Amino acid sequence: MAATPSPRLTELRAMREQLQSSYAALKAAGLTLNMARGKPASDQLDLSAELMVLPGANDFTAADGTDCRNYGGLQGLTEARQLFTKVMGVTADNIIIGDNSSLALMHDCVAFGLLKGTCDSNGPWQAAHTTFLCPVPGYDRHFAICEEFGIRMINVPLNEEGPDMDAVEKLVASDPTIKGMWCVPKYSNPTGTVYSDTVIERLASMKTAAPDFRLFWDNAYVVHHLSGEAADIANIVERCAHHGNPNRAYVFSSTSKITLAGAGLAMFGSSPANVKWLLARMNQRTIGSDKINQLRHVRFLRDEAGLATLMNKHAAILKPKFDKVIEIFNRDLGEWGVATWTVPKGGYFVSLDVPAGLAKRVVQLAKEAGIVLTPAGATFPGGKDPEDRNIRIAPSFPDLEEISKAAEGVSLCVLLAAAESAN
Ligand code: PLP
HSE-CB of 401 using CA atoms within 13 angstroms? 2
Q: Indicate whether 295 and 320 sit together in one domain.
A: no
DSSP assignment, residue 150? T
pLDDT number for residue 283? 98
CA dist 20 and 5 (Å) reads 24
Ranges 31-40, 201-210, 337-346, 386-395: which has the least confidence = 31-40
Task: Give residue 281 CA to ligand 1 midpoint distance, Å.
Answer: 22
Number of domains the chain contains: 2
Q: Indicate whether 324 and 283 sit together in one domain.
A: no
Per-residue model confidence as pLDDT tens digits over 111-133: 999 999 999 999 999 999 999 99
Task: Give residue 394 CA to ligand 1 midpoint distance, Å.
Answer: 13
Per-residue model confidence as pLDDT tens digits over 126-172: 999 999 999 999 999 999 999 999 999 999 999 999 999 999 999 99
Pocket test for ligand 1, best of 87, 88, 96, 103 (most atoms within 8 A of CB): 103
CA dist 298 and 84 (Å) reads 10
DSSP string, 75-103: T--HHHHHHTHHHHTS-GGGEEE-SS-HH
Task: Give residue 103 CA to ligand 1 midpoint distance, Å.
Answer: 6
Question: Does ligand 1 have an atom closer than 6 angstroms to the CB of 139?
Answer: yes
Q: Indicate whether 410 and 296 sit together in one domain.
A: no
Is 2 inside a domain boundary?
A: no
Per-residue model confidence as pLDDT tens digits over 82-96: 999 999 999 999 999
What is the extent of the structural domain holding 67? 61-302
Task: Report which protein residue has its CA nearest ligand 1's atom 2.
Answer: 220
Question: Does ligand 1 have an atom closer than 6 angstroms to the CB of 193?
Answer: no
Q: Indicate whether 108 and 24 sit together in one domain.
A: no
pLDDT number for residue 6? 73
Is 320 inside a domain boundary?
A: yes
Task: Give residue 357 CA to ligand 1 midpoint distance, Å.
Answer: 28
Q: Indicate whether 287 and 354 sit together in one domain.
A: no
Is 52 inside a domain boundary?
A: no
Q: Indicate whether 353 and 298 sit together in one domain.
A: no
Of 243, 274, 302, the residue at which a domain comes to its end is 302
> Residue 7, Cβ neighbours under 10 Å: how many?
15
Q: Indicate whether 168 and 232 sit together in one domain.
A: yes
Is 49 inside a domain boundary?
A: no
Q: Indicate whether 34 and 174 sit together in one domain.
A: no
Domain of 145: which CATH number?
3.40.640.10
Per-residue model confidence as pLDDT tens digits over 251-306: 999 999 999 999 999 999 999 999 999 999 999 999 999 999 999 999 999 999 99
Question: Does ligand 1 have an atom closer than 6 angstroms to the CB of 404?
Answer: no
Q: Indicate whether 105 and 248 sit together in one domain.
A: yes
pLDDT number for residue 69? 98
Q: Indicate whether 284 and 320 sit together in one domain.
A: no
Confidence class for position 228, pLDDT limits 50, 70, 90: confident
pTM for this predicted structure:
0.97
Q: Indicate whether 265 and 364 sit together in one domain.
A: no
pLDDT number for residue 106? 98
